[in-house]
Amino acid sequence: MKELAKRVQQIPPYLFADIERKIDEAKQAGKDIISLGIGDPDLPTPDNIIEELCRTAHDPVNHQYPSSQGMLSFRKAVAEFYARRFGINDIDPNNEVCTLIGSKEGIANINYCFVDPGDINLIPDPAYPVYATATMMAGGFSYPMRLDPEHGFLPQFDLIPDGIADRAKLMWLNYPNNPTGAVADLAFFEEAVAFAKKHDILICHDSAYSEMTYDGYVAPSIFEVPGAKDVAVEFGSCSKPFNMTGWRIGFVVGNSVAVKALTTYKSNVDSGVFQAIQYAGIAGLNHPEEIVSASRAKYAARRDILVGGLNEMGWDLAYPKGTFYVWAPVPKGYTSGSFAEFILDKAEVVITPGAGYGPAGEGFFRATLTTEENRMAEAIARMKKVLGKVEF
């Protein structure tokens, strides 16, 4: 067989595929594994969403090829969600919204719309791995924007050299943030928009966790900044707020040129989301607060168990106000990888090594809140047994 394409040879092993493999191996060895590794909601999809899928799946109209852009009714539901949730009333569902087969698909594919070989994207470090991997597959290079705890895990735009910024095509942002759980206020997005306009960069804001917030914090949309649509798109998802990760439905909103480019690209590589799933997504978007509030309460309770337990062992963690992740430094004497291996081997608990999210993630680990409270408490008890008090 001929040699694989270089872009495929260069792809690093996907972080979560490796974690899933280790979990399977441990389970096959008879271990009772508690996974705090993968951010996949354990809560069920709400009944009204399932019922809408079942109802519309019986309609033969929905058995045909769906539009790559998505049904207009779904795109209108997205625009109406933005109006209710963020007070943004000028989203045009015809030209400024495209339905995605999960936001991950759009996050990867938009690179092929803008990035030519040798181009630069500005990528947070640490970050969701797809930003950098998709940049590489499109032939581009990643310039890291380091996220430090001292600056609230927000990029410092003034540290990016003008020569790099002027060459950059895309800038990736993600708040509430995976993996750090950090949040951003509107002032940050105002700064980001001004920077993008100065250097002619398209901001790609991954807003998958906008509804997973706590302690009174409400996540803004970048489009609350006047003029943001000139330089930005925002990726949203039904996966996290409506517990629909397996359903694969999301959306992109914003700059009409960028949305059209992505729609054109998609029309050549896929046939869109099964329409019955789009109707189910509409059911979620039309009544989000009724669904999300219960999930928030559960995740907040689990967060309190996890962060409280880690702090009892010697950590000094703030309670994150967004996502369902806890980002914490590893104890003295460990790398992120060796600590994750130790906890899996000795406590039979899965955590994610921070180095998998980029060089700046070394020295940290990520734990998810997608495990029920009694198992979360059991995970903490196991870690206390093998760690005792930790030092940093």
DSSP string computed for 208-225? TTTT-B-TT--PPPGGGS
Residue 140 confidence (pLDDT): 97
Task: Look at the chain and count its residues.
Answer: 392
Domains and their CATH numbers in the chain: 6-45+290-386 (3.90.1150.10), 63-287 (3.40.640.10)
Residue 273 confidence (pLDDT): 98
Q: Find the Cα–Cα–Cα–Cα dihedral 6, 12, 18, 21, rounded to 10°.
A: 10
Which of these, 135, 226, 220, lies nearest to 172 by C-alpha position? 135
Question: Are the CB atoms for 350 and 37 separated by under 8 Å?
Answer: yes
Which of these, 140, 142, 129, 137, lies nearest to 4 by C-alpha position? 137
Query: How far from chain centre, in Å, is Cα 164?
Result: 25
Residue 13 confidence (pLDDT): 74
Residue 16 confidence (pLDDT): 66
DSSP string computed for 299-348? HHHHHHHHHHHHHHTT------SBTTEEEEEPPTT--HHHHHHHIIIII-
Residue 114 confidence (pLDDT): 98
Q: Which residues pair with 213 in a beta bridge?
A: 322
Q: Which residues of the chain have pLDDT under 50?
A: none
Residue 124 confidence (pLDDT): 98
pTM greater than 0.75 (yes/no)? yes
Distance separating alpha carbons of residues 275 and 99, to the nearest angstrom: 11
Residue 7 confidence (pLDDT): 87
